[in-house]
Amino acid sequence: MRCSKWLYPLVALSCASVFTNPAHAQRAPATAASFPAKPIRIIVPFAPGGPNDLLARLVGQKLTEKWGQQVLVDSRPGGGTVVGTEAAAKAPADGYTLIMVSLATAVNVTLKKNLPYDTVKAFAPVIRVAASPNLLVTHPSLPVRSVGDLVKLAKARPGQIAYASGGVGGATHLGGELLCLMSGTKMTHVPYKGATPATTDLLGGHISWMFVSILPAIPQIRSGRLRAIGVSDSRRSSALPEVPTVAETLPGFEATSWYGLFAPAGTPRDVVDKLNAEVARALTTPEIREQLQREGAEPVGDAPERFEAHFKSEIAKWGKVIREARIEPN
pLDDT digits (tens, 9 = 90+) for 48-59: 888 899 999 999
- Lowest-pLDDT range, 16-20, 83-87, 197-201? 16-20
Is pLDDT at 244 greater than 90 in this prediction? yes
- CA 25 from chain centre, in angstroms, equals 30
- CA 96 from chain centre, in angstroms, equals 23
Residues 4-132+257-324, CATH architecture: 3-Layer(aba) Sandwich (3.40)
> Each residue of 121-138: pLDDT tens digit?
999 999 999 998 999 999
Q: Who wins on pLDDT, 170 or 313?
A: 313
Say what the pTM is: 0.83
Please give the mean pLDDT across all residues of the chain: 89
Confidence of residue 42 (pLDDT cuts 50, 70, 90): very high
Q: Which CATH class is domain 134-248?
A: alpha beta
| Sheet with 134-138, edge to edge strand ranges | 188-191, 162-165, 209-213, 134-138, 227-231
Cβ–Cβ under 8 Å, residues 250 and 182 = yes
Domain coordinates of the chain in residue numbers? Answer: 4-132+257-324, 134-248
243-268 per-residue burial string, b: 16 or more CB within 10 A, e: under 16: bbbbbebbeebbbbbbbbbbbbeebb
Confidence of residue 94 (pLDDT cuts 50, 70, 90): very high
The percent of residues in the chain predicted with pLDDT above 90, rounded, is: 75
Q: How far is CA 59 from CA 1, 96, 118, 254, 282, in A?
A: 20, 14, 26, 26, 7
> Each residue of 110-121: pLDDT tens digit?
999 899 999 999
Q: What angle do CA 227, 230, 236 make, to 5 degrees?
A: 120
- Lowest-pLDDT range, 23-37, 91-105, 155-169? 23-37
H-helix or E-strand spanning residue 59:
helix 51-67
> Each residue of 187-213: pLDDT tens digit?
999 999 888 899 999 999 999 999 998
